[in-house]
Structure 1
Amino acid sequence: MSGLSVLCGGFIGGLFAAAVTAWIIVIRMLRRWPRPTRALALPMAILLTVAASADVVNAYFSYLPRLGDVMGAATAGGSDPRLKTADLRSSVSSAVLRSHPDGAILALPVPDRGSGFGRTTALVYLPPQYFDQPQWRFPVLYLIHGSPGIPADWLRGGQAADAGARVAAAGHPVIIVMPRMSHGWLDDPECVDGVSERVETHLVIDIIPAVESTLRVESGWASRGIAGMSAGGYCALNLGLRHRSMFGTIIDMSGLTRPTHADGLRPLFGAGPAAQAAAAANSPDLYVGGFGPGPRPRIWLDVGRRDHDVAVAIRHIRDLLSTDGYPVQLHVRPGIHTFTVWRPALRDALAWFAGSTTSVSTI
């Protein structure tokens, strides 16, 4: 269970208490009205309560998805007008750019190449230069959603396309890939290879090969980064470290340093000594320092000042990483465990990633 889930539970509990109090007042007022008026007023009061509650929740969390997203992920067009479905084969031409002067957001089919995870669709931000300069290759950042969550959360609450357009305008274009790392909005596989899902393998043998065989990306270690927020931040840190020869940059926004699940670790790894070993092998705060010689990705850690438990874990892993020779920096900004922290964190971290990688190269 992610930190967002805990925070969401506490906030919704408070919202429920406030709603009950408000309804007690409404019922007392309705008793004084004529019966025909009450019959009309009651449904309207219910509708306004639901609408107001949804607005309050979205104003606080800045990203909770709509009902259609919870039921079935982002589809063609989605509920965001910037989502466009297109084939990303070589037939994509500069004509696409004319309707997307700041770049394009497209859907990339990801086949199952042996992970058993099944076919998925990744959302992809392509900078304007992708269409202007057909001979160029670009750095790529894999951006992992949280739990509960879907890839489109990064476009809505995270404004990832705006962040991508900003660095592209500064002359440092980056491809941003937002893959599907769970089977449902409430699914919480923690991006690990567990007893029921092989999500880590899905990233390594399904998603990355699909991206690199379809798009003009720089495939080198220094030009490939992984990032995420909340549970996705843990995913980025854990997968980035476990595959440190694959990712030159890791960006962890408010992620914990061990796998968590609402029902404990049994649904992820099972039980017994093998399960305990698997959990430890996916706990950065336990295995950092045990890899020995090898690449040391540069790491950006980011957390809200009032996100107390996560901030403690982030500071601890910062110390462990620094001791083991990783170039790591910690950023603490105002806020708690919401996109009010992750939006500026992504904007700043993406500029850092884009500005220090090889922006483009010719084919």
Structure 2
Amino acid sequence: MNLSLTSGPVPVLALSLGAAGLCWLCWGPRRYLTRVVPFAVMGALAGTVLLFVAAELLLSWWDASFPRYLYLYSAGGILALLLTVPRWRLARGILARILTVLSVTAVLLGAVSAANVAYGQYPTLQSLVDSPGDSSGAVPLRKLVPGQDTTPSTEANWTPPSDMPAEGGVYEVQIPGAVSGYAAGTSLVYLPPAYVASPPAQNLPVLIALHGQPGTPADWFAGGQLQQVMDDFAAQHNGLAPVVVLPDLSGGSNANWSLCLDSKQGRGATYLAEDVPAWIKDNLSAGLAGPQQWAVAGYSYGGTCSVQLAVNFPDTFPTFIDISGENQPTIPGGVQSLVNTYFGGDASAFAAQNALDILKKQTFPNTAGIVVVGKDDGVYNGQGRQVYDAAKAAGMDVQLQELPGGHSWQVWKEGLSDNLDWLGRRLGILGQ
């Protein structure tokens, strides 16, 4: 089940079968080769151009970080679809027609495999079939009791029981927007082995992990292999690791995500900075010792949000990791469209919450963070560097890290896993 889908024989086989399938679809008698195939090629090229215009100029499905070579695979897929019926009609016998269907399927799977290699969304076969949040039973809540001991468990004071589980658990939870009124979908929670042990560690620190757009909390477990990453960290530290809470950022049925702002499109910032921490303290008895036990991390859209939260709520999130985030919240129509949609045209209301604007006016001597950028990320590398420069100028203890790769899980996963020791020291699990 750990068979790699992004390196080794699988993507090579997918590409080879796709190429062979396309050759079969293009092969035939002279009339087919001189009339049908050229028209199909022109149609595929036209379809690819239309896809580009629709995706990047009209609907803004993705931006300049999208690898342009993937359009070649899109063209191959469109060509295969256009040739399906002519090649089917040309085929003689059931085997030839089955081969035609298999060839079209192979071309499409080859294109999908190429996209998966580019982004690393499903790095292994197991990540493709696993569903996070399927730990047996309900989430083991640990209700906050008035007067309870809130001394955090650390490597220095925690002795794990002999029968402590080797793995943590992942659970689905509903975190209501009690203060914000925010319409949130299902969130996920990772509880480390020390939390689910008996007797358990107490008052573990908290990491809020934010996903990208489009995306869901589950993406952290598929592309980011978050459970394995956290279990590996815990195995090195007596079962201790942060409690990781992954809120849903989609805003329920709202087509306009909140951008982790408080606006006409929902109070997403208040939900993440007040409702989510309150639920965690009340139901998991974690992060009780103060803001030094709290951190926020995210990739892409979630990376932008992590900076927004660290700047707007420094007393809640004095520690952050921004992985491939933007230099400010954005929507396809640009800044003016954002101001109109979210703030009724009031640019000052947006500036009052925009991290880069705030960093120009305030200092943050108690905040520490890491800004991670992909070396080959033509869009977000430069924007991340702007965030780093602004944060450093505002007095934050901030690092800039450049990792190999583009706007993909190759960077996003390592951006978190490579910094867990730093995070553990910052949150108090490890010694300084």
Q: If the length of structure 1 is used for normalisation, what is the TM-score? A: 0.82
Q: Give, in angstroms, the shift of residue 295 of structure 1.
A: 5.0
Task: Confirm or deny: 8 A CA contact 1:154 1:160 kept in the other structure.
Answer: yes
* Letter of the structure 2 residue corresponding to residue 86 of structure 1: A
Distance 1:4 1:188, change over 3 A: farther
| Farther off after superposition, 250-259 or 265-274 | 265-274
Superposed CA deviations along residues 234-289 of structure 1, whole A, max 9, x for unmatched, are 00011111101111211000001111112334664426885312332333223213
* Backbone CA RMSD of aligned residues: 3.3
Which structure carries more relative contact order (alpha carbon 8 Å, separation 6+)? 1
Q: By how many angstroms is 1:121 displaced? A: 2.7
Letter paired with 1:57: A
* 1:192-203 map, 5 Å: 192-203=261-272
**Distance apart, 1:103 and its partner CA:** 0.9
Partner of 2:200: 134
Deviations 1:268-324 (A, max 9, x none): 4426885312332333223213125x6531010101101122111222222222222
Q: Could you say which residue in structure 1 is the equivalent of 2:3?
A: none
The structure 2 residue matched to 1:215, chosen from 284, 288, 301, is 284
C-alpha displacement at 1:36, in angstroms?
A: 4.8
The one-letter code of the counterpart of 1:79 is S
How far apart, in 2, do the equivalents of 1:324 and 1:151 lie?
Answer: 31
Contact in 1 for aligned 2:262/2:270 (Cα 8 Å): yes
**What CA distance in whole angstroms lies between the structure 1 residues aligned with 2:333 and 2:224?**
28
Alpha-carbon separation, structure 2, partners of 1:307 and 1:9: 10
Deviation of 1:355 after TM superposition, in Å, equals 2.7
Contact 2:171 2:189 in 1 (8 A): yes
Counterpart residue type for residue 393 of structure 2:
T
> 2:178·2:275 contact (CA, 8 Å) conserved in 1?
yes
Equivalent pair of 1:167/1:354 in contact (CA under 8 Å) = no
Q: 1-side partners of 2:256 and 2:70: how far apart?
A: 20
Aligned to 2:374: 304
Q: Distance in 2 between the 1:210 and 1:53 partners?
A: 43
Alpha-carbon distance between aligned partners in 2 of 1:106 and 1:273, rounded to the nearest angstrom: 38
1:183 and 1:314 map into 2 onto residues whose CA distance is 25
1:180 and 2:248 correspond: yes
Task: Tell me the CA shift for residue 13 of structure 1.
Answer: 3.0
Distance of aligned partners of 1:98 and 1:17 in 2 relative to their CA distance in 1, 3 Å threshold: farther
**Aligned residue for 1:284?**
355
CA contact (8 A) 2:65 2:378 kept: no
Q: Is the 8 A contact 1:192 1:282 kept in 2?
A: yes
What SS does the corresponding residue of 2:405 show, helix, strand or coil? coil
How many angstroms does 1:183 deviate by?
3.4
The code of the aligned residue for 1:103 comes to G
**Residue 118 of structure 2: aligned partner:** 60
Alignment partner of 1:246: what SS?
Answer: coil
- 2:214 aligned residue (148, 152, 165): 148
Instruction: State how far apart, in whole Å, the 1-side matches of 2:367 and 2:345 are.
Output: 28
**Cα gap change, 1:98 to 1:189, in 2 (>3 Å):** farther
Partner of 1:159: 225
- Count the aligned residue pairs: 343
Change (3 A) 1:16 1:313: same
What CA distance in whole angstroms lies between the structure 2 residues aligned with 1:184 and 1:84?
26
The answer for the alignment partner of 1:123 in structure 2 is 188
Greater displacement, 148-157 / 218-227: 218-227
Q: Is the 1:123–1:151 Cα contact (8 Å) retained in structure 2?
A: yes
List gaps (5 residues or longer) in structure 1: 66-76, 92-96
The amino acid of 1:299's aligned partner reads G
User: Would you say 1:275 and 2:341 are equivalent positions?
Assistant: no
